[in-house]
């Protein structure tokens, strides 16, 4: 029987003004029509049709600086941080924490051939981003007697290559059964007039639906249910492009516990009003994040009496999420996590079937849109030099070179805190599965860095 598009889908496309897609369906042969129809049915066209292409939909309203637990070196309470750290350590020891890595992005700006997580970043070892995170997971396993399950989100374009990279590296020394891959959904791309585009005669142009896709994908894939069976309560969420993140940081986990919140999130002081990070702000109904593309520049530039940025708190997308919150948000993802449109260069077919470059929009869900659905949220300040060094572009301020520099400086600071020094001028690198912080270096009681053998690499020596 010839394929018929569902009436509701046909209507949806008509109301949305996408008649060219219906015309295309008519022009295709049976097999192609089925292929295109199946793809259309899998996309969240309702959410896509609601995306605003003209910036934020609603006026942004009054935004106040949010309440933040400041870092102990910046006026915060050391005793409270200590209490949170101890609470987080006991959750890790009870096996109630999983690590949730979002690695579904296309990494277009970096231009690396392969999943971004395979990018070599270790200052001496050239270990990949995945490899550095895996070292930290191994350290958690050693310290707490439980290696947290590692939920890794991919997207259709990099799923196979990501799984292959893990297999080729023997899962970076982790148990294969503790790594749980799941694949996120895609969203349609739009041209400047909001029209759906074609990547092929019978395929709509799509891209991964943003890091917010992690919440519905976790549940849809069954990984959330798997984590529930493993009695995981807290999901430590971080991005693949920040090699400096302290994976599974007990203090952040513990703040969620001692404050009884559904989300605990890290903030850093923004470098400048136009830094490309989300901004944490309080709306009167609790905190939220405004993406940098959606924060009016005048508001972002406002300063307080001391000349400091009024909205100073930047988001680095490091959160500890309650598993139950994830389940709740996923159930309402279509409405709770709207698509945001970001202007991007695209490659699609023109009316004559030729590939062209054009300016259009990718549609993305943001994970921090879940914050207003949380029963409560606690924000904890992190030090940029210890926790945030993004790898976004091939060169410049957020590049592999800047991130390697930050890793090197952090490792030297840890050594210095333990009374050790490393030769200047040549990169060094600590094996994070052995030394997961200054305390671990101190405990080893080393007289010099040479005594650590391959656990401290200096330029010239290879990885173990």
Residue 58 φ/ψ, nearest 5 degrees: -100, 155
Q: Restricting to residues 171-190, which ones interact with ligand UTP according to CB under 6 A?
A: 184
Examine residue 102 and tell whether it contacts ligand UTP (CB under 6 A).
yes
Among 186, 116, 121, 122, smallest CA distance to 152 is for: 116
Does the protein bind ligand UTP through residue 103 (CB under 6 A)? yes
Backbone angle region of 301, left / alpha / beta, with phi > 0 → left and psi within -120 to 50 → alpha: alpha
CB of 47 to ligand UTP, least distance (A): 14
CB of 211 to ligand UTP, least distance (A): 4
333 forms part of the interface with ligand UTP (CB under 6 A): no
Residue with the CB atom nearest ligand UTP in the bound state = 105
Q: Considering the rule CB under 6 A, would residue 106 count as an interface residue with ligand UTP?
A: yes
CB of 346 to ligand UTP, least distance (A): 12
Is-contact 174 137, C-beta < 8 A?
Answer: yes
Nearer to ligand UTP, 34 or 344 (CB): 344
| Residue of the chain from 121, 153, 330, 348 that contacts ligand UTP (CB under 6 A) | 153
Judged by CB under 6 A, the residue of 35, 70, 85, 109 near ligand UTP is: 109
Q: Rounded distance, CA 291 to CA 314, Å?
A: 10
| Binding range to ligand UTP, per CB under 6 A, among 37-45, 108-116, 168-176, 374-382 | 108-116
- Mark residues 220-259: x for contact with ligand UTP by CB under 6 A, - for none: -------------------xxx------------------
Q: How far is the CB of 111 from ligand UTP (least distance, A)?
A: 8
Q: Answer for the pair 154, 104: CB distance below 8 angstroms, yes or no.
A: yes
Q: What token pair was written down for 17? A: 């003004």
Taking CB under 6 A as the rule, does residue 143 contact ligand UTP? Answer: no
| Min separation Cβ 118 and ligand UTP, Å | 12
Residue 340 contacts ligand UTP per CB under 6 A: no
CB of 279 or CB of 282, closer to ligand UTP: 279
Work out which of 88, 149, 188, 210 binds ligand UTP, going by CB under 6 A.
Answer: 210
Interface with ligand UTP includes 300 (CB under 6 A)? no
Q: Which stretch binds ligand UTP (CB under 6 A): 8-16, 99-107, 320-328, 417-425?
A: 99-107
Which residues ranging from 369 to 408 are in contact with ligand UTP (CB under 6 A)? 392
What is the number of alpha carbons within 13 Å of residue 149 lying toward its C-beta?
24
Identify the three-state secondary structure at position 330. Answer: helix
- How many alpha carbons fall within 13 Å on the CB side of residue 271? 11
Min dist. Cβ of residue 161 to ligand UTP (A): 13
Q: What number of chain residues touch ligand UTP (CB under 6 A)?
A: 21
Biggest distance spanned by C-alpha atoms of the chain: 79
Phi, psi of 263 (to 5 degrees): -135, 135
Is there binding between residue 209 and ligand UTP (CB under 6 A)? yes
* Nearest residue (CB) to ligand UTP, 6 versus 347: 347
Q: Which tokens hold the place of 367?
A: 């994970």
Residues 187-206 that bind ligand UTP (CB under 6 A): none
- Structure tokens of 285? 């109904």
Which ranges of 242-372 does DSSP label H, i.e. alpha helix?
A: 250-258, 297-301, 323-331, 333-336
- Burial zone of 200 (CB within 10 Å; 0-12 exposed, 13-18 middle, 19+ buried): middle
Provide CB contacts within 8 A for 283, sequence distance 6+: 61, 62, 63, 64
With respect to ligand UTP, which residue has the nearer C-beta, 133 or 435?
133
Q: Which is nearer to ligand UTP, 136 or 184 (CB)?
A: 184
Structure tokens at 39: 């793809």
Q: Does 108 bind ligand UTP (CB under 6 A)?
A: yes
Beta carbon of residue 157, minimum distance to ligand UTP (angstroms, whole number): 10
| Residue 436 neighbours by CB under 8 Å, 6+ apart | 136, 139, 140, 143
In whole angstroms, how close is the CB of 162 to ligand UTP at the nearest point? 10
Is there binding between residue 216 and ligand UTP (CB under 6 A)? no
**Which of 390, 161, 182 is CA-nearest to residue 271?**
390
What is the C-alpha to C-alpha distance for residues 407 and 387, in angstroms, rounded to an integer?
9
Got the DSSP string for 172-195?
Answer: GGS-GGGEEEEE--EEE-EETTS-
Which tokens hold the place of 329?
């948000």
**Does residue number 44 form part of the binding site for ligand UTP (CB under 6 A)?**
no
Q: What residues make contact with ligand UTP under the rule CB under 6 A?
A: 102-109, 116, 153, 155, 184, 208-211, 213, 239-241, 392
């Amino acid at each position: 029987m010839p394929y018929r598009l569902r009436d509701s889908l046909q209507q949806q496309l008509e109301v949305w003004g996408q008649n060219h897609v219906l015309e295309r369906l008519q022009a295709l042969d049976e097999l192609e029509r089925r292929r295109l129809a199946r793809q259309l049915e899998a996309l969240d066209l309702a959410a896509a049709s609601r995306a605003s292409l003209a910036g934020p939909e609603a006026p942004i309203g009054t935004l106040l600086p949010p309440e933040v637990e400041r870092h102990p070196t910046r006026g915060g309470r050391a005793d409270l941080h200590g209490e949170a750290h101890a609470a987080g350590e006991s959750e890790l020891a009870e096996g109630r924490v999983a690590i949730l890595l979002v690695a579904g992005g296309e990494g277009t700006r970096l231009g690396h051939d392969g999943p971004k997580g395979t990018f070599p970043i270790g200052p001496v070892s050239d270990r990949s981003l995945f490899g550095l995170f895996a070292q930290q997971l191994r350290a958690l396993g050693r310290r707490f007697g439980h290696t947290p399950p590692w939920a890794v989100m991919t997207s259709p374009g990099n799923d196979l290559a990501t799984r292959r990279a893990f297999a080729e590296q023997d899962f970076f020394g982790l148990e294969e059964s503790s790594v749980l891959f799941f694949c996120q959904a895609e969203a349609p791309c739009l041209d400047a007039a909001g029209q759906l585009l074609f990547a092929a005669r019978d395929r709509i142009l799509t891209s991964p639906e943003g890091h917010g896709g992690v919440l519905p994908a976790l549940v849809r894939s069954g990984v959330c249910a798997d984590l529930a069976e493993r009695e995981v309560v807290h999901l430590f969420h971080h991005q693949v492009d920040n090699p400096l993140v302290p994976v599974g940081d007990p203090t952040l986990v513990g703040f969620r516990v001692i404050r009884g919140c559904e989300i605990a999130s890290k903030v850093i002081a923004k470098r400048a009003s136009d830094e490309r990070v989300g901004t944490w702000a309080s709306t009167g109904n609790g905190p939220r994040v405004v993406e940098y593309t959606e924060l009016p520049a005048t508001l972002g530039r406002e300063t307080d009496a001391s000349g400091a940025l009024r909205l100073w708190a930047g988001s680095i997308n490091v959160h500890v999420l309650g598993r139950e919150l994830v389940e709740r948000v996923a159930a309402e993802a279509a409405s709770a996590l709207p698509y945001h449109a970001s202007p991007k260069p695209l490659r699609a077919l023109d009316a004559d079937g030729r590939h062209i470059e054009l300016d259009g929009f990718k549609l993305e869900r943001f994970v921090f849109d879940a914050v207003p659905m949380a029963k409560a949220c606690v924000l904890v300040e992190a030090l940029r030099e210890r926790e945030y060094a993004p790898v976004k572009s091939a060169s410049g301020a957020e590049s592999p070179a800047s991130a390697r520099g930050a890793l090197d400086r952090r490792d030297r600071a840890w050594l210095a805190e333990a009374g050790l020094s490393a030769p200047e001028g040549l990169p060094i690198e600590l094996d994070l599965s052995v030394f997961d912080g200054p305390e671990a270096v101190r405990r080893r009681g080393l007289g010099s860095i040479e005594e650590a053998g391959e656990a401290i690499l200096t330029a010239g020596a290879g990885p173990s």
